[in-house]
Amino acid sequence: MIIRTETTADYSKVFQVNYEAFRNREDEPKLVEKIRESKQFIPELSLVAEENNEILGHLLLSKAEVINKNISHEVIVLAPIAVKPEFQNKGIGSQLIQEGLRRCRDLGYGIVLLIGHPTYYPRFGFKPARRYGLELKQFNVSDEVFMVCELIDGKLDRIKGELRYPDTFFKI
Ligand SMILES: CC(C)(COP(=O)(O)OP(=O)(O)OC[C@H]1O[C@@H](n2cnc3c(N)ncnc32)[C@H](O)[C@@H]1OP(=O)(O)O)[C@@H](O)C(=O)NCCC(=O)NCCS
């Protein structure tokens, strides 16, 4: 299996992976399409896991902002991640996330934020975000599911404020 950057030729297969992983609902695959069309999209942060010419998993990381009074920090949000149901629990999601975080760091991004399963993401370095002075008001979620991963030492001390997901996330 390889992890590589998504190409336009993968789009329909990536739709299918997200559709199946999210229990045959179209919200997440449509969110992927919207993010691709937005200015927050970074092509090399849309990753696929491929084996035998089949797309087994997909991860999308894209730009968002943390706003503190009139200061805006560009950050990355992880959403969505999807692995085909019959290929889950084989480490594919982990490989996608590890490669995705490595690429974010290489691009110079200091922190990655997400809303997700509190038992899954801590293994990659994610920690509850609110205790670091990060806030989320757009979604009413508990402290343990709103998480942050520091990629560059010291960035968590410097980036404080409210995470704002782009409008794309609300117009599906
Ligand atoms: C979440 C997901 C991407 C993980 O990918 P994966 O390839 O199955 O994960 P890995 O094989 O790398 O890791 C397996 C671990 O993830 C855990 N896991 C899988 N789905 C989980 C879930 N919904 N909640 C919590 N933990 C989950 C497994 O219990 C396993 O834990 P263990 O290593 O302690 O046994 C995949 O299960 C998926 O597509 N789920 C449906 C879509 C979804 O919920 N996406 C995330 C939205 S935040």
| Domain ranges for the chain | 2-170
pLDDT value at position 172?
Answer: 57
pLDDT value at position 115?
Answer: 98
Pocket-testing residue among 1, 27, 83, 123, ligand 1, by greatest number of atoms within 8 A of Cβ: 83
Given 3.40.630.30, 3.40.50.2300, 3.40.50.620, 3.40.50.720, which CATH number is that of 2-170? 3.40.630.30
Which residues in the chain show pLDDT less than 70? 172
pLDDT value at position 171?
Answer: 72
What residue owns the CA closest to ligand 1's atom 24? 117
In sequence order, the 6+-apart residues with CB closer than 8 A to the CB of 62 are: 35, 38, 40, 41, 42, 45, 76, 77, 79, 166
117 lines ligand 1 (CB under 6 A): yes
